[in-house]
Amino acid sequence: MKFFNKRISAGIFVIAVLYRVVSILLDNMSIHCITDNATVTTVHTMTQEAVLPNPNVPFPMFFLSGQKVSWCQAAKVASTSTKMYFLKISNGEIVIPENSRFGIHNANFARLSDLSREDQTWVKNTDEYTHVFIVKNVVERFVSGFLDKVVFDCKNGIQPYYAIHYYIQYGFSCDEHQDLEAFVSLMEKVPKMDGHFHAQASLCNLRTFPYTDIIYVDDHFDEKLRRLSEKIGVVHPAEEAKTRKHSTGANQKMVDIFRGKKGLLARILNLFDEDCRLLPEACDVDDLLASLEEKEETMV
């Protein structure tokens, strides 16, 4: 009798396992991916079993299947303007949900990491796709992030969904770290930065991903997007004021912030050593140093 009961238990276990396997297969049949004719269907949701992290694909990389273009950029790199650009050229593929808290940032952009490994490899290596890496000067980006995510957000108290909430575990406080030098000192001790301050090159896998274009965010950003439109064969959308000269107020305050603090400027560059080695132009502060020297001479 004991032997008979064990056989029944084993049989139930096998049936349970087979049921789970069939359920997973049925779930995965609803996943859209690249078809035999090498086209991509936009993916918005995937089953947990189907999506596994791929260290060779940047998590913040999005793509438009119809326009055959992908792009990666860190936060605080004209991300709002850039996403609006890609929404406008998507032919309705991208939409912003009604009553979304974060507007364009809640739009249904498809991530390359949503695709299967096989499809990721095809998109990554095919000549049909244009792969764009969008970059910003590291000092301008850091100061922009500081003014937006520290100084501005601290006015409302630290909310759980604020980027700066991540740094509480490392001793951040609004009372102490709204001073730029104090904030830099904190960041020098943080083992890993959040996405708003994370180094751009490593976040977007610059060493390994086959980017075809690198676009720097500056006063000529819209003209660069216009050239991208020509390259991928889309009608360039109407120009927006923010895109003409993307700024969060950081650029105008740079000279005042670093006046008499060139050492602080060097410390910020040191925080992003990898970006400076792989993207020297992103660490070019010659114009800022010249403006600082000019400012100092006028004050003598």
83 falls within a domain: yes
In the chain, which stretches have pLDDT less than 70?
A: 1-56, 240-252, 299-300
Q: How many domains are contained in the chain? A: 1
Give the tens place of pLDDT for each residue, 114-151: 899 999 999 999 999 999 999 999 999 999 999 999 99
Residue 251 CB contacts under 8 Å (≥ 6 apart), including other chains: 140
Structure tokens at 64: 């438009």
Q: Would 159 be classed as within a structural domain?
A: yes
What is the per-residue pLDDT across 205-232, written as a single tens digit (0 to 9) for each?
Answer: 999 999 999 999 998 999 999 999 999 9
CA distance 195 to 188: 16
* Residue 51 maps to a domain: no
Give alpha helix (H) positions in the chain: 2-28, 79-88, 117-125, 138-145, 153-154, 174-177, 180-187, 200-203, 221-232, 241-244, 250-258, 262-271, 273-278, 286-299
Domain span at residue 124 reads 57-300
Domain assignment present for residue 272? The answer is: yes
> Is residue 22, in this structure, part of any structural domain at all?
no
Indicate whether 44 belongs to any domain: no
Within-domain flag for 180: yes
Q: What's the confidence (pLDDT) of residue 13? A: 44
Whether 32 is in a domain gets the answer no
